[in-house]
Amino acid sequence: MTPSDLTECLNTHTGTPRDPCSNPPLHSKSHGQPSQPRPTPLPLCVRDMELITNVTEYEKLAKEKLPKMVYDYYASGAEDQWTLKENREAFSRILFRPRVLIDVSRIDMATNVLGFNISMPIMIAPSAMQKMAHPDGELATARAAASAGTIMTLSSWSTSSVDEVNSVGPGIRFFQLYVYKDRNIVRQLVKRAEMAGFKAIALTVDTPILGRREADIKNRFTLPPHLTLKNFEALDLGTMDKTNDSGLASYVAGQVDRTLSWKDIKWLQTITSLPILVKGVVTAEDTRLAIEYGAAGIIVSNHGARQLDYVPATISCLEEVVREAKGRLPVFLDGGVRRGTDVFKALALGASGVFIGRPVLFSLAVDGEAGVRKVLQMLRDELELTMALSGCTSLREITRAHVITDSDRIGRSRL
């Protein structure tokens, strides 16, 4: 909410604040005066924020507030958007097997990720160009994550630089990386992230080329002219053709290296000592290769359903990856998480934690840092509730026996 929105919410003819969300009666009977027309509805106001009770409500509010081009960029998926829907719907097909008569007066949600202690297994995924959502962009997200005691992953296509994000204060932060044709760009990005205190690299491996996002094509999406990809601003990019209408953003997207292969993980390990998470693995075969090539962890992800359509939901791929990993490295889930129940289901299927993306963007658009804080708090509260009602007092007590999946039902029907 902008200061002008708040001011308009609190305006009053009498000089004293009124309930900004209330409407006057349709008819006024005082002193026989004629009835007055209902005034134009006021902007989003303080009580609207208080009435937000779940994460998904932020998306509708963000759609009303954001320019269509920006909302569509954040919200849309690839092609038919089947996977976009399936990322959510697959969670609804997983049911609970709660245990009862267990003392749940104390519940501990703390965990450890790559040696870093965090307050809960809910972290922030990399999302590009957050200043399109709110003027504070990634800086607000970083502050909210630090306040919640969890990890933020900064997109390399962010509208705030690693140094700017670091300047907001202490926090555990990872840096998302694409590998570019010019490896000198990669070296510079990784070095700057290291110097800014980032603790790990999340290497995106499902994007040798950008997926076909038809909403962006129709909208002719470009980064708004007052914004730039800050991590590239101070780099030596060599000769850059700025004649196209997207400038730096189009240039950078066009520089993603299609030749990226598993051997490049070994190359990355020669230029950084930071642990490397591989983001975009959805199969057992690639899990084996990630382990073979020395990945520190796997993020099961389909890029928010923005790359290849008709791949399964990430929650549907999770157990295959976990089984192949056999505890040799942590496996995380990214995609479709909107409830604390979703977090519990992912943990029950073997995830060490989850990352959330769109909920952060939509809450950031609606209410800046406060919105992101509220999303993190709501998910934390819902996870705590789910744990209590399932009879779990710590994350290690959440097991496969607490959930029933489609495969379980099929297996039982064959007995």
SS3 (DSSP) at 414:
coil
* Confidence check: pLDDT of 22 > 50: no
Which residues is 202 bridged to in the sheet?
A: 176, 277
Residue 27's pLDDT is 39
Average pLDDT, the chain: 87
* Confidence check: pLDDT of 12 > 50: no
Sequence ranges of the binding site: 73, 126-128, 155, 176, 178, 204, 213, 279, 301, 303, 306, 334-338, 357-358
The answer to whether 150 and 124 are in contact (CB under 8 A) is yes
Residue 366's pLDDT is 98
Which helix (H) or strand (E) is 356 found in, with range? Answer: strand 353-356
Return the beta strands (E) in 186-338 as ranges: 200-204, 276-281, 297-300, 331-334
* Confidence check: pLDDT of 413 > 90: no
Which helix (H) or strand (E) is 231 found in, with range? Answer: helix 230-233
Residue 35's pLDDT is 47
Q: How far apart are CA 394 and CA 110, in angstroms?
A: 8
- Flag the least confident range among 24-33, 98-107, 221-230, 378-387: 24-33
Reported as a single tens digit per residue, the pLDDT across 31-67 is 444 444 444 444 555 556 778 999 999 999 999 999 9
* Confidence check: pLDDT of 8 > 90: no
Pick the closest to residue 171 from 378, 341, 383, 372 (CA basis). 372
Confidence category of residue 255, pLDDT binned at 50, 70, 90: confident
Sequence ranges of the binding site for FMN: 126-128, 155, 176, 204, 279, 301, 334-338, 357-358
Please report, for the chain, how many H helices and E strands are present, in that order.
17, 12
What single letter denotes the amino acid at residue 95? Answer: L
Residue 38's pLDDT is 45
Which helix (H) or strand (E) is 284 found in, with range? Answer: helix 284-292
Give the mean model confidence (pLDDT) for residues 251-275: 91
Structure tokens at 288: 């084996």
- In the numeric block, the tokens 């609606």 are attached to 366
Sequence ranges of the binding site for glyoxylate: 73, 178, 213, 303, 306
Sign of CA dihedral 283, 284, 287, 292: negative
Residue 46's pLDDT is 53
The answer to whether 165 and 177 are in contact (CB under 8 A) is no
Residue 233's pLDDT is 85
**DSSP string over 153-195:** EE-TT-SS-HHHHHTT----EEEEE--BSSHHHHHHHHHHHHH
* Confidence check: pLDDT of 5 > 90: no
Give the mean model confidence (pLDDT) for residues 255-276: 95
Return the beta strands (E) in 35-139 as ranges: 95-96, 111-113, 116-118, 122-124
- In the numeric block, the tokens 């965990």 are attached to 111
Higher pLDDT among residues 252 and 90, named by residue: 90
Residue 10's pLDDT is 32
- Flag the least confident range among 176-180, 291-295, 337-341, 408-412: 408-412
Structure tokens at 218: 């129709």
Pick the closest to residue 132 from 56, 73, 173, 75 (CA basis). 73
Residue 251's pLDDT is 65
* Confidence check: pLDDT of 26 > 80: no
Residue 235's pLDDT is 76
SS3 (DSSP) at 43:
coil
Confidence category of residue 414, pLDDT binned at 50, 70, 90: low
CA quadruple 159, 165, 168, 173: dihedral, nearest 10 = 140
Residue 95's pLDDT is 98
Query: What is the number of residues in the chain?
Result: 415
Residue 389: count other Cβ atoms within 10 Å of its Cβ: 15
Residue 256's pLDDT is 87
Higher pLDDT among residues 239 and 81, named by residue: 81
Give the mean model confidence (pLDDT) for residues 356-383: 98
Confidence category of residue 92, pLDDT binned at 50, 70, 90: very high
The answer to whether 227 and 158 are in contact (CB under 8 A) is no
Q: Taking each helix axis from N to C terminus, what angle separates 314-325 and 340-348, rounded to the nearest 10 degrees?
A: 30
Sign of CA dihedral 24, 27, 30, 33: positive
Active site residues: 303
Q: How far apart are CA 222 and CA 220, in angstroms?
A: 6
* Confidence check: pLDDT of 30 > 50: no
Confidence category of residue 23, pLDDT binned at 50, 70, 90: very low
What single letter denotes the amino acid at residue 82? Answer: W
Domains of the chain plus CATH, in order, are 55-413 (3.20.20.70)
Which residues is 46 bridged to in the sheet?
A: none
